[in-house]
Amino acid sequence: MAGINLAPSSIGEREMRDTHLPRFRMAVRDAGIYAVMPSYNEVDGVPAHANRWLLHQILREEWQFEGVVFSDYAGIMMLDHFHHTASSAKEAALQALQAGVDVEAPFPWGYAQLKELLDEGRVTEAMIDRAVSRILRIKFMMGLFEKPYIDPARVREAVRTPEHLKLAREVAEESIVLLKNEGGLLPLDPKRLKSIAVIGPNAHQVQFGDYSPTRSNQHGVTVLQGIREVAGKELQIRYAKGCDITGNDRSGFDEAILAASQSDLVILVMVHGRPYAIAWEKAHLPAILETWYPGEEGGRAVANILFGITNPSGRLSMSIPQSVGHVPVYYSHKPSGRGYYRDPGSPEKPGHDYVFASTEPLFSFGYGLSYTTFRYDDLQVERDRYRGFPAPPHQRGRGG
């Protein structure tokens, strides 16, 4: 999708079923979800909000989904002014309802025309009743008619409890990935350090990701706060924002450079929502920590990893490319997806696949370091056959 949220996906049915649909099927069938939201984009030329193959044949008939299909924000409206598959609100509503969209959000725009479409005979009462019955069914299952109101005073008792915060920290700790640790620089030992610098626009700013109701530091722990809590008062912490997340203002660079020059080491802690091409950083920085958007307890989780209270155990759920030009990069590539010659190139010695680079990712899917070292020795199999494939002759009959 080229990094654009609404860009078309040129994926055929075979690839959809083989690669992409299985994980969605597990979410629908195994997790017992109540609602599904179509995406904004089009798939194989058909917008998702008008795609009966996706929303009815796959979702309803094959996966037996009985919940509600809830439109994305103005998703039905986009059929008219964005995708141009409809020429009016009525046409957009007709396409969406026929495809299987039950609820229009954020307000009735196309579905406000359903009465007129019904009078014209273009939709039937059965089509409308089917959508309404799905909505009512979910409301009954949730007990909204028996207990329609809640006590707002109890919200504080149920939100951000100590158990919730503990879980948030554990989830953050287990998702953080140690990408580089040259010379065993990490974990940090406060007794061996005099000063560390915490630099950057995300150092003292919580990041919960997009669509978050708040970006206030009052609702989370920043990396700077977490480091100060763990490091204690003996270790001097120098903080410099340096710059904003976006913009060209460099007025804070001098302060950041000074803080770095007065400190003992440099570690890159990345806080972001998608992989960056960090070939220069990998080559020049001794330690790199990938934290993604670590949530409300992210600062404590990062500090616990940095100072060895928690051993990093996260593994990459995606491959990180060497550069933008290497995209797409993913683990399940075809045999031809990395070239034929397997001859990586460089400016000094051109190659045959990419002339000036390797086709390999910078960091592969599943990669992740820890503070422990281990190895496997004398591996053996316990049976002569696994899933129809015989064990290698030299390992047959050797119990492990």
Which of 350, 353, 355, 359 minimizes the C-alpha distance to 341? 353
Residue 199: what are its φ and ψ, rounded to 5°? -125, 140
Candidate list 72, 244, 254, 377, residue with the active-site label: 72
69's enclosing H/E stretch is: strand 68-69
* Cα(390)–Cα(262) distance, integer angstroms: 61
Instruction: Give me Rg for the CA atoms of the chain.
Output: 27
Question: Do residues 188 and 233 make contact, with C-beta atoms less than 8 angstroms apart?
Answer: no
Is 353 labeled as catalytic in the residue annotation?
Answer: no
CB-based burial of residue 381 (10 Å sphere; 0-12 exposed, 13-18 middle, 19+ buried)? middle
Q: Is the separation of the CB atoms in 330 and 365 below 8 Å?
A: yes
Closest CA to 38 of 84, 90, 88, 95: 95
Contact 122, 94 (CB under 8 A): yes
Which tokens hold the place of 327? 């995209």
CA distance 90 to 138: 27
Distance of CA 72 to the CA centre of its chain: 18
Token digits of residue 301: 């989780």
**What's the rounded Cα separation, in Å, for the pair 241 and 244?**
8
Per the CB < 8 A criterion, the answer to whether 304 and 310 are in contact is: yes
d(CA 59, CA 93): 20
What positions carry a catalytic annotation?
A: 72
